[in-house]
Structure 1
Amino acid sequence: MESLFLLIPLSLVLVGLLVWVLRWSIKSGQFNDLDGPGHAILMDDDAPKPSKS
């Protein structure tokens, strides 16, 4: 029973911390472009670049 007096507040603090981290990541734009990095891997940059002459 004594362990519940420690575990319940500790779990509430952990949940509060996780909610704060999620809100911070949403506000800072971490989830704005979810598809871009995945498509960037598949793009080929093998096309020859035009020369300047």
Structure 2
Amino acid sequence: MKKRRTLSDEKRSFNSNWELNYFMIETTNHTMVCLICEQVIKTIKGDNAKQHY
């Protein structure tokens, strides 16, 4: 059986451009928060930020 990938294995990090482009900020527990509606997005991925925006 294949080993599942984890977020730490993929080394995802918050891109500072997302603050201006998608109005997202990173929280201390490594999630993103929308500054407009304050919804929490659990996985730090550009596609998730773009889709929410």
TM-score normalised by L of structure 2:
0.21
Instruction: Between the two structures, name the one with larger relative contact order (CA 8 Å, sep ≥ 6).
Output: 2
Higher helix share: 1
TM-score normalised by L of structure 1:
0.21
Instruction: Specify the structure having the higher radius of gyration (Cα).
Output: 1
